[in-house]
Structure 1
Amino acid sequence: MKKLLATIFTALLISSHFFADNAKTTDFLVSAQKAGMTFYWDPLTSSGLIEKNGHRISFHAGDDFVLQDYKTVVNEKAPVLENGKLVSYSSFMNSAENFFKTESNDNPYRIGAILIDPGHGGKDPGTSSVQKIGGKSVKLVEKDINLNVGLKLRDYLKKSYPDKQILMTRSKDVYLSLNQRTEIANSVKLKDNEAILFISVHVNSNFNESASGYEVWYLSPGYRRQVLNAKSAGEEKSLLPILNSMMEEEYTTESILIAKFILDGITAQVGTQTNSRGIKAEEWYVCKNSNMPSVLIELGFVSNKKEAALLNDDKYLQKLSFGIYNGLQAFVTHFERSRGFTGK
């Protein structure tokens, strides 16, 4: 990460290429599609990214600079929103096309670690409920369900990724404060070309016993984090707010993608056994204090009789775990390929 940030700062200082504001404009989405670029857009943060040939350009609508492959800041006018539509200067599209043709000799950027956080534990049981299941009164406790799914997920990931750090905040019934969980996440040692993902697992409850379904949360874009420290900027501390904003928006975009992939993965596994409540944004403590892409998964409602029976079934928990695993696997593949990682 230090090496990456140093490259970003150096590039920002020496980059001087800039196209005039009065250049011809085009419909960005149409132009990107014609050029064979894959486009992702987050309307909440007005940030987007385009991919092609193993390279990526990310931007914030209206900014005077863009970020290439997460390391080079270029003074290029980013697409801008006009009447609800993204419009780009033709110079931007020309520059993007030329960049996507380049070959990269850099080390592949990859996911180096995945941290699984089974919520609650020890003296903190989380939510609980007593339900009649199979004619017997059964008490479901959130901390136990979270740990069960977390351990299954860990085993799936370890088998598929022996070269990555597959970690857990807790692997048994012990208490950890929210602060301890985020400290664990932020202290994981990574190589310069590696990133970490934070996955928090929880179970829901509601006074309305008809409430049911699973959902995946990411940090609300309205909450602004300080994800870079002052030491990263060296002598150019005036650039820190700009780079912090760009890095934070990258984390948000990636968190949304993780949430989508996980939600799709769970849906594929559980089918019509219960319902998807979608992707949502909230300022969860573990997400807003973890300096990395992070999501919080709510597996279902122990307060719902039908769903409680499912959450008490180990085979169903295996489906949930495998769905999360498939979602993470899809994201890892996407993430690493988008940075020129081919594995060939």
Structure 2
Amino acid sequence: MNRRIFVLIAAVLLSSHAVFSQTKWVNAVESAKKAGMCLYWDPLAQSGVLEKNGHQISFRAGDGFVLRDYKTIVTEDAPKVENGTLLATESFMRSADSFFQTESDESPYRIGAILIDPGHGGKDPGAMATHTIDGKKRTIREKDVNLSVGLKLYDYLKKSYPDKKILMTRNTDVFISLAQRTEIANSVKLAENEAILYVSVHVNSNFDESASGYEVWYLSPGYRRQVIDSKTTDDKSLSTILNSMMEEEYTTESILIAKFILEGIGAQVGNLSKARGIKAEEWFVVRNTKMPSVLIETGFLSNKKEAALLLDDKYLQKLSFGIYNGLQAFVTHFERSRGFTGIK
């Protein structure tokens, strides 16, 4: 999200706090529950988030500091894992409870822009297939379906969010390189505490003509990217840690967007097509955008039945409205929680 400013603040605060350690540890899950806090823990990434009253404390197991509201680093022992149990010091839990009682006078995080990227275009048609539908030979081109869905989605979002920037990488049949697409995304100007979402629209194809269904992809957690300005601080180790924490936040948000979109499409298209799930991949346009981003595969044009649906404007309206509903659900969740997007 647009939280670059927290790096400068964090660097100053990190150097100004004395390091101390508490030795009395308690069960973090039980303590958080008793205190009315929501604890979100990712055992694979060994990272977690505590949330209450619109505030968040993010941490990585075993670190000597935690990050409050994605902008302020406080030096204290973060929770740790011991014998499969997440433990926290009593001091950490008291400090967290005190922090959650404070009122913030800052503007809450909000979605300031949504960028729709209809894949391919111009000289690049994307996948293509020809089928005999209703007695006529019909050729379906991926770039056309992508643009149709993108334009419909744009209209839905524009009407619903007149106060946000609703943008498209292309709104006509023109060629735009992958590098240009990500450059457009990363150059969008945002106000402080604003975020941008990147939604790439594509159509699938497979040698197996029976393959069908829609799916949503996000960036694989195994891929590492630079999402903050490395020149912001001279402390390379601090920069690496902060970049990792922000990157994990982007991944969490992308997964949540994918989940909402998948559910949104399913509610609209019903049994006309099937959900193939949420998947991870290192697509170029996803791995090079410094923001939460997803790539939607709306169906398989290599499948005759699904190709007929993708040529049907009424079906594409349902599909687009499903994507819109998914994005709307995420925006509502994000803004009501002041930018907190954890997943249990």
TM-score norm. by structure 1 comes to: 0.92
| Match in the other structure for 2:59 | 59
Q: Which residue of 1 aligns with 2:327?
A: 328
Q: Is the 8 A contact 2:157 2:324 kept in 1?
A: yes
| Distance change >3 Å, CA 70–CA 152, structure 1 → 2 | same
SS in 1 for 2:289: coil
Tell whether the 8 Å contact from 1:214 to 1:299 is kept in structure 2 after alignment: yes
Q: CA deviation at 1:84?
A: 4.3
Alignment-derived partner of residue 112 in structure 1: 112
Amino acid at match of 2:94: N
Q: Distance in 1 between matches of 2:284 and 2:207?
A: 23
Q: Where does structure 1 differ by over 6 angstroms across 4 or more consecutive aligned residues?
A: none
Aligned CA distance change for structure 1 residues 64 and 264 (closer, same or farther; 3 Å): farther
Q: Deviations over 1:95-130 (max 9, x none)?
A: 222221111001222111111111111111111111
- Aligned counterpart, 1:5: 7
Q: Identify the residue that residue 163 of structure 2 maps to in structure 1.
A: 163
Match of 1:285 in 2: 284
Identify if the C-alpha distance between structure 1 residues 277 and 239 changes in structure 2 by more than 3 Å, giving closer, same or farther: same
Distance 1:23 1:35, change over 3 A: same
State whether structure 2 residue 189 is matched by structure 1 residue 189.
yes
Matched residue, 2:245: 246
SS in 2 for 1:103: coil
The verdict on how the C-alpha distance between 1:158 and 1:41 changes in structure 2, with shifts beyond 3 A counting, is: farther
Alignment map for 1:286-305 (pairs within 5 Å): 286-305=285-304
1:45 match: secondary structure: coil
Give the Å deviation of 1:10: 2.6
Q: Is the 8 A contact 1:25 1:87 kept in 2?
A: yes
Unaligned 5+ runs, structure 2: none
Give the letter for the 2:278 counterpart. I
Task: Report the counterpart of residue 308 of structure 1 in structure 2.
Answer: 307
In the TM superposition, what is the alpha-carbon distance from 1:50 to its structure 2 partner?
2.9
- Structure 1 residues 15 and 159, CA gap change in structure 2 (3 angstroms): farther
Per-residue deviation at 1:83? 4.5
Alpha-carbon distance, 1:174 to partner: 0.5
CA contact (8 A) 2:114 2:167 kept: yes
AA in 2 matched with 1:244: N
2:67/2:73 contact within 8 Å kept:
yes
Q: Aligned ranges for residues 1-344 of structure 1 at < 5 Å?
A: 1-16=3-18, 18-20=20-22, 22-26=23-27, 28-233=28-233, 235-339=234-338
1:96 is paired with a residue of what secondary structure? Answer: helix
Quick one: distance in 1 between partners of 2:209 and 2:330?
34
- Aligned-residue offset at 1:2: 4.5
Distance 1:210-1:124 versus aligned 2 partners, 3 A rule: same
- Aligned partners of 1:150 and 1:321 also within 8 Å: yes
Contact 2:114 2:197 in 1 (8 A): yes
Q: 1:284 to 1:110 in 2, by over 3 A?
A: same
Cα distance between partner residues in 2 of 1:336 and 1:41: 21
C-alpha spacing 1:99/1:177, structure 2 compared with 1 (3 Å):
same
Q: Secondary structure at the match of 1:196?
A: strand
C-alpha deviation, 1:17, in angstroms: 6.4
Amino acid at match of 1:3: I
What amino acid sits opposite 2:188 in the alignment?
Answer: V
Please list the CA deviations of residues 202-248 of structure 1 after superposition, one character each: whole Å capped at 9, or x if unmatched.
Answer: 11011111111111111111111011223322x44442111111111
Does the Cα contact within 8 Å between 1:265 and 1:325 map onto a contact in 2? Answer: yes
Judged with a 3 Å threshold, the aligned counterparts in structure 2 of structure 1 residues 48 and 138 are, in CA distance, closer, same or farther, namely: farther
Q: Deviations over 1:22-42 (max 9, x none)?
A: 21220x334333433334344
Structure 1 spans left out of the alignment, 5+ residues: none
Per-residue deviation, residues 188-208 of structure 1 (Å, max 9, x unmatched): 111122111111111101111
Kept in 2: contact 1:265–1:324 (CA 8 A)? yes
Q: Offset of 1:8 from its aligned partner?
A: 2.7
The amino acid that maps onto 2:266 is T
Distance 1:298 1:266, change over 3 A: same
Contact residue 213 and residue 299 of structure 2 kept, 8 A: yes
Partner SS for 2:272: coil
What TM-score do you get using the length of structure 2 for normalisation?
A: 0.92
Mapped to 2, the partners of 1:158 and 1:192 lie a distance apart of 22
Deviation at 1:145, TM superposition (A): 0.6
Retained in 2: the 8 A contact 1:104–1:340?
no
Identity of aligned residues (%): 69
Q: 1:240 to 1:34 in 2, by over 3 A?
A: same
| Residues in 2 aligned to 1:241 and 1:171: alpha-carbon distance in whole angstroms | 38
Q: Which moved more, 1:40-49 or 1:320-329?
A: 40-49
